Amino acid sequence: MRAIQFTEYGPPGVVHVAEVAAPHAGAGAIRVAVRASGISPGEIRIRSGEMRDVVPLAFPYRTGFDAAGVVDEVGEGVTDVGVGDEVFGMTTTAARGANADFVVLAAWAPKPAAWSWEEAGGAAGAVETATRVLDRLAVGAGRTVLVQGAAGGVGTVAVQLAVARGAIVIGTASEANHDFLRSLGAEPTTYGTGLAERIRALAPAGVDAVFDCAGGALPDLVAIAGDPARVVTIADLTAAAHGVHLSHGAPADDTGTALGASADPMALHGLSLAVTLAGEGRLRVPVAAAFPLAEAAAAHALSETRHARGKIVLVH
């Protein structure tokens, strides 16, 4: 089968299609014939080498964490799906390899009829991440949350999930994306210099939580929240220096030491909630662009600009 991988750190061009052996579903897992799969911003940083000291790799490294497709193999003990069912879901964080013709999923849910394959292919990682952080921040009805980087793949989903919880949401994005954020239920503002003053104008009583999807602004975000414990980032590796929690779901390394020691529990319950919200018309997965599998390098290049509105996906 075809799979996307890289064998060295470097620019998007190191990503390529390789012919590899197809995986098979073990106990408690399923295999799907992939129709669409997501590009992970975290893997962009891994591929560049930026995170080599945080996430050590064994090459070749196969990319992709979430996918949607048709079940074609069911492992022992799995009773909730059958061959031919349409699902979306994610691999284990250790296995990955979802950017391929076939992938083994460790967690899944039925593909909502309202979602295209492209939406479903990029949904699971964003839903799990957004749910994990919103849970940690205790975002709920009547609380005000600032989503920094609200127009990106995780940000767009986080905004909608927070709105569905009854929260008041402020989202930062470039001005060109402000109407888009309003359509998702957020009050938009621009990022950058003067952010604290703009937030005070929008939320005179202050904000209860800050979800940082962008990175690079933690001092301002901590000042806005009033307490680093009320800020969670998924994008800023300097988090510890600011007393901020960096949320990730990385597994422990094979020695059982630090790599996974600070990982948060995966919020897999978010997948079934997403199905419910999608059926009610309350959750879409905005797709910035869809590329053929063979153009994975171009998809990585677009993600690296950090200006994509929504998820970037590969179609199979």
The pLDDT assigned to 284 comes to: 97
Tell me whether residue 276 is in a domain: no
Tell me whether residue 7 is in a domain: yes
Q: Tell me what percent of the chain is helix, strand and coil, each rounded to the nearest 5.
A: 30, 25, 45
Q: Is 231 found in the same domain as 182?
A: yes
Q: Is the pLDDT of residue 262 over 70?
A: no
**Domain closes at, from 210, 243, 258:** 258
Tell me whether residue 198 is in a domain: yes
Q: Is 246 found in the same domain as 194?
A: yes
Mean pLDDT of the chain: 93
- Distance of alpha carbon 65 from alpha carbon 89, whole angstroms: 9
The pLDDT assigned to 264 comes to: 86
The pLDDT assigned to 256 comes to: 35
Q: Which of 73-87, 90-104, 250-264, 266-280 has the lowest mean pLDDT?
A: 250-264
Q: Is 162 found in the same domain as 47?
A: no
Q: Is 154 found in the same domain as 243?
A: yes
Q: Is 145 found in the same domain as 114?
A: no
CATH number at residue 135: 3.40.50.720
Tell me whether residue 73 is in a domain: yes
- Distance of alpha carbon 248 from alpha carbon 235, whole angstroms: 9
Could you tell me the pLDDT band of residue 54, with boundaries at 50, 70 and 90? confident
Q: Is 251 found in the same domain as 136?
A: yes
Q: Is 34 found in the same domain as 118?
A: yes
Could you tell me the pLDDT band of residue 251, with boundaries at 50, 70 and 90? very low
Q: Is 109 found in the same domain as 24?
A: yes
Q: Is the pLDDT of residue 110 over 80?
A: yes
Tell me whether residue 271 is in a domain: no
The number of beta carbons lying within 10 Å of the beta carbon of residue 116 is: 18
Phi, psi (degrees; rounded to nearest 5) at 310: 95, -160
Residue 70 belongs to what domain range?
Answer: 2-122+285-315
- The domain total for the chain is 2
Could you tell me the pLDDT band of residue 127, with boundaries at 50, 70 and 90? very high
Q: Is 308 found in the same domain as 219?
A: no
Q: Is the pLDDT of residue 211 over 80?
A: yes
Tell me whether residue 280 is in a domain: no
| For the chain, percent of residues with pLDDT exceeding 70 | 96
**Are residues 123 and 65 in contact, defined by beta-carbon separation less than 8 angstroms?**
no
Tell me whether residue 266 is in a domain: no
- Distance of alpha carbon 202 from alpha carbon 64, whole angstroms: 38
The pLDDT assigned to 134 comes to: 98
Q: Is 310 found in the same domain as 254?
A: no
The pLDDT assigned to 254 comes to: 34
- Distance of alpha carbon 246 from alpha carbon 66, whole angstroms: 21
- Distance of alpha carbon 42 from alpha carbon 47, whole angstroms: 9
Q: Is 251 found in the same domain as 160?
A: yes
Q: Is 253 found in the same domain as 132?
A: yes
Tell me whether residue 263 is in a domain: no
Could you tell me the pLDDT band of residue 250, with boundaries at 50, 70 and 90? low
**Domain closes at, from 258, 274, 302:** 258
- Check residues 64 and 264 and name the one with the higher pLDDT: 64
CATH number at residue 92: 3.90.180.10
**Domain closes at, from 220, 239, 258:** 258
- Distance of alpha carbon 44 from alpha carbon 304, whole angstroms: 7
